[in-house]
């Protein structure tokens, strides 16, 4: 089997597993008198952002004729309200009437119970991993992958330093099998950053999306003319949208602004995504060294950017 065939087989295996797991293809899964498709249409009208019929048919992959029969059925039951759509006079904005909401409520409750039952079999940390992994699948395969989510960058505030230590510990253990000595090293670095913080020459950027922290980076003073970029991290659910690149760009902009001549950084050869970002930002690999740290054989790399 070639490489692509193996990947296709792995995806198909996952699809079979997940279909069994949540029973998504079972018609009338919520013991309701509706077909699964009708339930999906109801959910989309209830939870989508002001849906119109053409958007519903493409979002759900439904034939327009089939969808309009379903919508006519809902209208007959008094579940559907239609308002003219400002952007396109031929279309109507669809929403559920109070009657429609009432019909959906027991389905919604049963669905919540079922998902709750799946999650309750997992620890809090396992639930976090599952949700992160689902976010990754959605980002990579969904239409959102082409859109940059709204996020803000802000300076650090109380509570952030603990987050940085915790998420480095958890994510590097999950992704690279680093042991807790790595987390201890991060704790040392950030403790020193806070204790000797020089706001004119040093900075931490925290990335926040929907009120949750999703990333961080630090620029610290290495010498009078050299700054050090440290602890770049983006949550798996927020990766691939350019947040990592932006965090590095902010470091470079700030370092130039305050007059450093060079930025240096220390990374590991296995951190491929980060290496790519550094390279594209103009950093050059200047030294390599094998070492055994945090339970793993590593190749440490030093990258420099002349400003």
Ligand X SMILES: CC(C)(COP(=O)(O)OP(=O)(O)OC[C@H]1O[C@@H](n2cnc3c(N)ncnc32)[C@H](O)[C@@H]1OP(=O)(O)O)[C@@H](O)C(=O)NCCC(=O)NCCS
Taking CB under 6 A as the binding criterion, the range among 9-17, 96-104, 193-201, 239-247 that sits at the site for ligand X is 239-247
Q: Which of 74, 274, 298, 305 binds ligand X (CB under 6 A)?
A: 274
Number of residues that bind ligand X (CB under 6 A): 17
How far is it, in rounded angstroms, from Cα 97 to Cα 201?
Answer: 58
Cα 182 to Cα 160, 191, 275, 278, distances in angstroms:
18, 14, 19, 22
Radius of gyration of the chain (CA): 25
Q: Which of 182, 205, 241, 294 binds ligand X (CB under 6 A)?
A: 241
Nearer to ligand X, 135 or 240 (CB): 240
What does the buried/exposed string (b/e) look like for 53-75 if buried means 16 or more CB atoms within 10 Å of the residue's CB? beebbeebebeeeebeebbeebe
Nearer to ligand X, 39 or 214 (CB): 214
Q: Provide the pairing of β-strand 262-268 with 226-234.
A: parallel
Residue sitting closest to ligand X (CB): 244
Torsion 116-122-128-130 (CA) sign: negative
Nearer to ligand X, 74 or 218 (CB): 218
Q: How far is the CB of 28 from ligand X (least distance, A)?
A: 41
Judge whether 222 and 122 are in contact, CB under 8 Å.
Answer: no
Q: Which of residues 244-273 bind ligand X (CB under 6 A)?
A: 244-245, 267, 271-273
| Residue count (the chain) | 307
Please name which of 207, 307, 218, 193 lies closest in space to residue 257, comparing C-alpha atoms. Answer: 307
Q: Which of 194, 276, 287, 299 binds ligand X (CB under 6 A)?
A: 276
How far is it, in rounded angstroms, from Cα 27 to Cα 36?
Answer: 5
Q: Which of 48, 73, 240, 295 binds ligand X (CB under 6 A)?
A: 240
Provide φ and ψ at 63, rounded to 5°.
-65, 135
The yes or no reply on residue 135 touching ligand X (CB under 6 A) is no
How far is it, in rounded angstroms, from Cα 42 to Cα 115?
Answer: 18
Q: How far is the CB of 176 from ligand X (least distance, A)?
A: 8
Q: Which of residues 203-232 bind ligand X (CB under 6 A)?
A: 232
Q: How far is the CB of 9 from ligand X (least distance, A)?
A: 21
Q: How far is the CB of 161 from ligand X (least distance, A)?
A: 17
Nearer to ligand X, 222 or 245 (CB): 245
Residue 229 DSSP class: E
Nearer to ligand X, 165 or 277 (CB): 277
Cα 265 to Cα 177, 229, 251, 303, distances in angstroms:
22, 5, 11, 5
The token duo for 91 is 């279309």
Nearer to ligand X, 85 or 281 (CB): 281
Q: How far is the CB of 301 from ligand X (least distance, A)?
A: 9
Sites of contact with ligand X (CB under 6 A): 232-234, 239-245, 267, 271-274, 276-277
């Amino acid at each position: 089997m070639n490489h692509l065939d193996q990947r296709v087989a792995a995806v198909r295996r996952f699809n079979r597993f997940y279909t069994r797991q949540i029973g998504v293809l079972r018609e009338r899964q919520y013991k309701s008198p509706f077909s699964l498709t009708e339930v999906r249409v109801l959910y989309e009208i209830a939870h989508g952002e002001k849906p119109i019929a053409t958007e519903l048919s493409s979002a759900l992959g439904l034939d327009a004729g089939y969808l309009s029969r379903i919508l006519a059925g809902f209208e007959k039951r008094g579940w559907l309200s239609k308002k003219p759509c400002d952007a396109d006079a031929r279309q109507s904005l669809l929403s559920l009437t109070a009657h429609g909401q009432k019909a959906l409520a027991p389905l919604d409750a049963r669905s919540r119970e079922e998902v709750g039952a799946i999650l309750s079999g997992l620890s809090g940390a396992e639930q976090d991993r599952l949700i992160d992994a689902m976010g990754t699948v959605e980002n990579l395969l969904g239409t959102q992958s082409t859109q940059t989510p709204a996020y803000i960058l802000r300076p650090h505030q109380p509570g952030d330093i603990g987050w940085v230590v915790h998420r480095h510990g958890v994510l590097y253990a999950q992704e690279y099998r680093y042991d807790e000595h790595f987390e201890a090293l991060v704790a040392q670095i950030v403790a020193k950053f806070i204790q000797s913080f020089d706001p004119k020459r040093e900075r931490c950027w925290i990335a926040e999306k929907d009120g949750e922290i999703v990333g961080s980076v630090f620029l610290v003073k290495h010498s009078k003319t050299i700054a050090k970029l440290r602890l770049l991290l983006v949550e798996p659910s927020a990766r691939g949208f350019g947040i990592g690149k932006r965090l590095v760009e902010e470091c470079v902009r700030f370092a130039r602004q305050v007059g450093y001549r060079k930025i240096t950084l220390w990374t590991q050869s296995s951190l491929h995504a980060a290496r790519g970002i550094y390279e594209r930002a103009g950093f050059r690999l200047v030294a390599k060294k094998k070492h055994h740290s945090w339970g793993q054989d590593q190749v440490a790399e030093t990258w420099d950017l002349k400003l």
